[in-house]
Amino acid sequence: MTKLKLALAGGLSAVALFATANAALAAGELHIFNWGEYTNPALIAKFEKAYDVKVTVDEYDSNETMLAKVRAGHSGYDIVVPGDYAVKIMIEEGLLAETRPNEMPNFKNIEARFVDVYWDAGRNYTTPWTHGLTTFAVNTDAYKGPADSIALLFDPPEELKGRIAMLDDMVSIIHAAERYVGVPRCTSDREELKKVYDALMKAKPYWRTYSVDSINKLVSGEADVAQTWSGSAVVVRQQLASVKFALTKEVMEAFSDNVAVLKDAPNLENAKLFQNFVMDPENAALTSDFAGYANAIKGSAAFFSADLKAAPELNVPADAATEFVPPCSAEVTALYNAMWTELRR
């Protein structure tokens, strides 16, 4: 028993030591909470060196996980990287600090079309991190046919039935169905919703998995088509050349992730420095190279690696239609929920 007590005392003092060690270093810190595999270590090292700040990076898997933690208050994080709709929610709920990126020196580098965005008009809170598309990728070794329509997910040829991996993402999948049947996003019209529902239920047996790593199923040979994000497709293509990201004739879903500072950020000034830092073309290129996504900084492409410069996933033709989708109303979301549960039961 005494041995147990000794061990316990040792364990507790180790924990206490950790807690105090964390507190002692509090000057010159920055705590970043970002999506998984999204932060280039080289970017962080460069920032640490430039401003003599110790940076920690933790990672999350969905906007909702991040929101749950931030809403509870005093999360200890300075920077989060919410997706476009999440930025809107966080501003409405007063979770973000109004850091006025539009007055920062590097603000001049932002592409004009990324200034007046629906989630942060005029950029009073956030700076752009990356943006990309959500469509699908095919393994051209297994499927040689055309891949230019979202119909491939909903009405696939015989050889692809049961060989499709979807994202574990209610909103993306239902919006895809809306595009397939040709109705507006977030429609509350019952007739139109019925069409969406029928398309989903018809496609249900064709879809083999729902997961955040859908693209990995192409690599492991468990699927030949995967609903996925453009950046994931870039990273996978670099390792498996037969993976091709589809640019569809239907309007394509676009998303944008943004660098935001929390209202209760312990290191507000360092966080502002970081917001300005990521608007530098060379720094933005570090992020794009690492994550495989485009960014909204003018002149950044000049610093891309050769592969990324030529990447078909990023060089979207000028006539291709893309859209950012604001969040749907609570009533529509409730209907989405019911369909989603039936799809996954």
Partner 1 sequence: MAAIVNHRTSTAGSGLSLAAPAIVLAVVLGCIPLAFVVVYSLLTPASFGGVEWVASANAYRSLLFRKDLFSEELVFSPDHLMIFGRSVLLALATTVLCFAVGFPTAAYMASRSPRARKWWVLAITIPFWTSLLVRTLALMLIIGDQGLINGLLIRSGLINAPVAMLYTDFAVLLGLLYSFLPFMVLPLLSSLEKLDPRLLEAGADLYASRWRIALQIVLPNIRPGIAAGCLLVFVPALGSYVVPLILGGGRSMMAGDLIALQFGTSRNWPLGSAESVVLVLFVALAFALSNLVRRRAA
Partner 2 sequence: MNRHLPRTFALFAGLSLVFLYAPILVLCSFSFNGGRLFHRWEGFSFAWYAKAIANEGFRDAAVNTLVVSTAATLLATVLATGAVIGLQRAGGRQQQFATALIGLPLVVPEVVMAIATLIFFSSLRNATGVDLGLGNLVVAHTAFCVPFAMMPIRAALRGVDPSVLTAATDLYASDTATRRHVLIPLLMPGIGSGAALAFMVSFDDFAMSQLVAGPGQTTLPVFIWAQLKRPLTPEINAMSTIMLVVSIALICLSMAVTARGKLTTR
State the residues that interact with partner 1 by CB under 8 A: 62, 64-65, 67-68, 71, 86, 89, 168-171, 190, 193-194, 197, 207-211, 220-222, 327, 329-330, 333-335, 337-338, 340-342, 344-345
If one counts every other C-beta atom within 10 angstroms of the C-beta of residue 211, the result is: 15
Q: % helix / strand / coil in the chain, to the nearest 5?
A: 45, 20, 35
**CA 84 to centroid of chain Cα atoms:** 9
Distance of closest approach, residue 24 Cβ to partner 1, in angstroms: 29
Per-residue exposure over 291-326, b if at least 16 CB sit within 10 Å of its own CB, e if not: bbbbbbbbebbebbeeebeebebbebeeeeebeebe
User: Contacts for 101-104 with beta carbons within 8 Å, 24 or more apart?
Assistant: 101/125, 101/126, 101/127, 101/275, 101/276, 101/279, 104/272, 104/275, 104/276, 104/279
Query: Residue 59 or 111: which CB sits closer to partner 2?
Result: 59
**Residue of 195, 205, 194 whose CA lies nearest to 155:** 205
CB of 74 to partner 1, least distance (A): 16
**67 interacts with, out of partner 2, partner 1, none, CB within 5 to 8 A per kind:** partner 1
Tell me which amino acid residue 228 is: T
Which residues of the chain form contacts with partner 2 (CB under 8 A)?
1, 3-5, 7-8, 11-12, 14-16, 18-20, 22-23, 31, 33, 35-38, 41, 56-61, 65, 68-69, 72-77, 212-213, 215-216, 219-221, 232, 235-236, 239-240
Residue 342 interacting partner from partner 1, partner 2, none (CB closer than 5 to 8 Å by kind): partner 1
Compute the least distance from the CB of residue 321 to partner 1, in Å.
26
Q: Which is nearer to partner 2, 15 or 302 (CB)?
A: 15
Question: Which of 54, 204 has the CB closer to partner 1?
Answer: 204
Residue closer to partner 1, measured from CB, 14 or 68: 68
Comparing CB distances to partner 2, the nearer of 20 and 329 is 20
Smallest gap from Cβ 227 to partner 2, in A, equals 14
DSSP label at residue 22: H
Nearest-5° Cα angle at 324, 176 to 198: 20
